Every structure is written in structure tokens, then in C-alpha cells.
Amino acid sequence: ARPIKAGRTRRTLHMLLTIAAELLPYSSLLSTSSFLLNAAFRPAPLSTIISTVVEAAKAVPAAACNLASFGFTISLGLAMLCVPLVISTCVWTVWTLAAVGPARKTLSTILMCGLGPIVLPLLSSIVLGIAWVAFSVLAAAAATLLPCVVLISALYWGLVSAAEFRTRERRKPQDGAQDITFTEMLLAIFAAATSLA
């Protein structure tokens, strides 16, 4: 019954990832994830896994581009919703200035109400476009370089910690630790094995 359950699990995961791949723009990454999940249940040759990882790395720029366009669309839409609030806040602030006369307040209000709906969306789209392009480049660079940096850092930290531990242990006096002998260990294993039978 166990192989059938693993097969069902693999098919279910594959079906869910296939459905998600049709709905999301990251289909190449999801199909790669699906392949890697299948490989976890059914061992694949190393060359196939390496080629799949290379294909996933090739898909990173496209996924980052999709992320940038999606993020730009959402943030620009939210910025457009804020335009009336920004214009009304600016008008309200201008009319509370004590040092400015009513003629300048009126002219400022007309300019803000006339140019604000044109200038604010234009400036928002330029600033958000630049920000999301920079973010997508950083996300692609992080997706490519961050795993290597994390792996090298973890290896370095583990090796240095192990070396320090060995050095500390060598400095301790070696006066024979209170431990069991091999004979006592073999007797304990024998007793445990016979109690199971």
C-alpha cells in the first residue's frame, strides 16, 4: 500500500502544480518545481537534475520581469487611487497658510486641481517604473547569487566552528572520560536485540 500512496501523493502534487502553472505567469518555475518533486519520489539521474536546475536558473529573469510588471501595475493602481486624496490634502494645506493671501491661494488651488490629475500619475508612473525595474534586477541577482552566498557562508561557519570545537577539546585534559567499554556496549546491544525478539 505504501508505493500506491507515494504514487497518489506524487500525482496529486503534480496535478496541483499543473493547475497553478496554468493560472500563474511563473509556469516555467512551477514546472521545474513539479519535476523536482517528482524526482524526490522517483530518483532521477544526476544529469537530469542538473539540467533542470539550469533551466530554472534560466527562467529567473523572466520571472523577475513578470514580478516587475505585476508589482508596477498594482502599485500604480494604488497610486492612482491616492491622487484625489493627495490633491485635496494639498489644497487644504494651502488654504491653511496664514502668510499667503486669498488670490495666491486661489491660483494655487486652480493649478493643483488642473495639473494634479495629469502630473501626479505621470510622476508616479516614472518613479514606480524605475523602482520596479531596479527591484526586479535586484530580485534576479538575489535569486541567482544568494543561494551560493548562503551555502558558502554556512559551510565556512560550520567548518570554523568545528575547528574551534576540536581545538577546545584538544586543550582539555585527556585523563580518560567516564565512558563504557566496547564490551559493555556490545552487551547492551545484545540485550536490546534479544528483548525485541
pLDDT for residue 1: 44
Reported as half-sphere exposure (CB side, CA atoms, 13 A), residue 124 has a value of 19
**Lookup: cell for 95:** 488654504
Find out whether 83 and 117 touch, Cβ atoms under 8 Å.
yes
Chain center to CA of 150? 13
Q: What is the pLDDT of residue 165?
A: 92
* 35 contact partners, CB below 8 Å, separation of at least 6: 52
CA atoms of 91 and 77, how far apart (whole Å) = 22
Conformational region of residue 177, where left means phi above 0, alpha means psi within -120 to 50, and beta covers everything else: beta
- Residue 132's pLDDT is what? 87
pLDDT in 10s for each residue of the chain, 197 residues:
444 455 565 666 566 556 555 544 444 544 555 555 555 455 555 566 667 666 766 766 666 567 778 888 888 888 888 888 999 999 999 989 888 888 988 998 999 899 888 898 899 989 998 998 888 888 878 878 888 899 999 999 999 999 999 999 888 877 666 677 888 888 888 888 888 86
Other beta carbons less than 10 A from residue 36's beta carbon: 14
Q: How many CB atoms lie within 10 A of CB 24?
A: 12
pLDDT at position 71: 82
| Cell of residue 12, nine digits | 496529486
Cell of 51: 539540467
